[in-house]
A and B are shown apart, each in its own frame.
Chain A
Amino acid sequence: MATAIRVDKDRKYQSEVNDHSKRILTEYYDQLARAARQGEASGFLMISGNCVEILRAFDMHPVFPEVNALQLAIRKQSLPMILKAEQMGYSSDNCAYVKADIGMLMSGGYGPQGTAPSPSLVVCNYVGCNVYVKWFEHIAEFCQAPLFMLDIPFLREGDRPSQDDITYVVRQLQELIATCSRITGKPFDIDRLREVLAFSARAEEGWSRAKHRCKSRPAPFDAYFDSINMMGPINVLRGTREAAEFFDFAVEAFEALAVQGKGPLAEERFRTIVEGPPPYPYYRNFRNLFAAWGAVAVNSTYSTVGGLWEFGFRHDPRRPLESIAEQMVVENLTNRSLTARYQQIRRYVEDWAADALVIHSIKSCRLFSAGQGDMREYFTRELGVPTLLVESDLEDPRYYSEAQMKNRIDAFFEALEHKKFLAKG
Chain B
Amino acid sequence: MAITRIIDRCRARLEDVEFGSVRDWKARHPGGKAVGCFPVYTPVEIIHAAGMLPVGLFGGGNTIELANADARFQSFVCSIAKTTLEMGFQGRLKLLDGTIFSSICDVARNLSSVMARNFPELQVEYIHHAQNMTSPAAVDYVESEFARIQRNMERLAGHPVSQEALASSLKTYNRIRGALRDLYRVRRESPHLISTVELYVLARSGTLVPPEEHLGELMEVLALLHARQDRPKDRVRVVIESAFCEQPPLDLLQVVEEAGCYIVDDDLLTGWRWYVEDVPEDLPPLRALAESYIRQSVYSSVRHDGPRSRTAGLVEKVRRAGAQAVIFMPAKFCEPALFDYPLFRLALEEANIPHLVIEFEEKMWTFERTRNELETFVESMLFD
Contacts and interface: CB of A to CB of B under 8 A. Distances in A.
Among A93, A128, A172, max chain B CB count under 10 A is at A93
B339 A131 contact: yes
B327 interface: no
A129 interface: yes
A134 interface: yes
A164 B140 CA distance: 8
Interface string B110-130: 111110111000000011101
Contact of B339 (A94, A165, A370): A94
A162 B148 contact: yes
A421 B275 CA distance: 64
Among A98, A130, A175, max chain B CB count under 10 A is at A130
Contacts of B104: 130
B216 to A, nearest CB: 36
Contacts of B77: 366, 370
A80 interface: no
A366 B335 contact: yes
B371 interface: no
Interface residues on A, range: 35 or more
Contacts of A342: 117
A338 B343 CA distance: 31
B105 interface: yes
A370 B130 contact: no
Interface string A83-94: 001001111011
Contacts of B110: 337-338, 366-367, 370-371
B111 A91 contact: no
Contact of B338 (A93, A129, A367): A93
A88 B128 contact: no
A377 B71 contact: yes
Among B128, B130, B134, B148, max chain A CB count under 10 A is at B128
Contacts of A138: 339, 342-343
Contacts of B111: 370-371
Contacts of B342: 85, 88-90, 138
Nearest to A137: B304
Nearest to B147: A164
B107 A370 contact: yes
B334 to A, nearest CB: 8
A93 B104 CA distance: 17
Contacts of A171: 135-137
B341 interface: yes
Interface in B43-61: none
Given A141-B343, A149-B131, A94 B113 contact: no
B336 A130 contact: yes
A373 B71 contact: yes
A371 B135 contact: no
A313 interface: no
A369 interface: yes
A339 interface: yes
B105 A130 contact: yes
Contacts of B339: 90-91, 94, 98, 131, 134, 138
B117 A378 contact: yes
A29 to B, nearest CB: 28
A301 interface: no
Contact of B131 (A93, A126, A338, A373): A126
Contacts of A153: 128, 141, 145
Interface in A336-374: 337-339, 342, 361, 363, 365-367, 369-374
Given A154-B126, A366-B335, A337 B113 contact: yes
Contact of B126 (A91, A150, A156, A371): A156
A168 interface: yes
Contact of A154 (B128, B333, B336): B128
B106 A131 contact: yes
B56 to A, nearest CB: 22
A195 interface: no
Interface string A152-177: 01101100001011011001100100
A361 B135 CA distance: 36
B73 A371 contact: yes
Nearest to B143: A164
A133 interface: yes
Contacts of A338: 109-110, 113-114
Nearest to B144: A164
Contacts of A95: 335
A134 B118 CA distance: 31
A167 B132 CA distance: 14
A59 interface: no
A93 B345 CA distance: 17
B95 interface: no
Contacts of B340: 134
Contacts of B131: 126, 133, 149, 151
A393 B17 CA distance: 37
Interface string A79-110: 00000010011110111001000000000000
A204 B326 CA distance: 51
B133 A149 contact: yes
B144 A162 contact: yes
Contact of B107 (A133, A141, A172, A366): A366
A391 interface: yes
A126 B141 CA distance: 15
B138 A151 contact: yes
B128 to A, nearest CB: 4
Interface in B229-285: none
Contact of B74 (A88, A154, A164, A372): A372
Nearest to B137: A171
B66 to A, nearest CB: 12
Among A133, A157, A167, max chain B CB count under 10 A is at A133
B137 A167 contact: yes
B332 to A, nearest CB: 8
B87 to A, nearest CB: 15
Contact of B72 (A91, A165, A337, A374): A374
Contacts of B309: 141
A188 B6 CA distance: 64
A149 B132 contact: yes
A129 B117 CA distance: 21
Contacts of A172: 132, 135, 137
B22 interface: no
Interface of A: 85, 88-91, 93-95, 98, 124, 126, 128-131, 133-134, 137-138, 141, 149-151, 153-154, 156-157, 162, 164-165, 167-168, 171-172, 175, 337-339, 342, 361, 363, 365-367, 369-374, 377-378, 391
19 contacts: A85-B342, A95-B335, A126-B131, A126-B304, A131-B106, A149-B304, A149-B306, A151-B131, A156-B126, A164-B141, A172-B135, A337-B113, A363-B74, A366-B107, A367-B110, A370-B81, A370-B111, A373-B74, A374-B114
Name the 5 nearest CB pairs between A and B, nearest first.
Answer: A171-B137, A164-B144, A338-B113, A89-B342, A151-B132
Given A93-B335, A149-B132, 6 more contacts: A128-B109, A134-B340, A150-B132, A171-B135, A337-B126, A342-B117
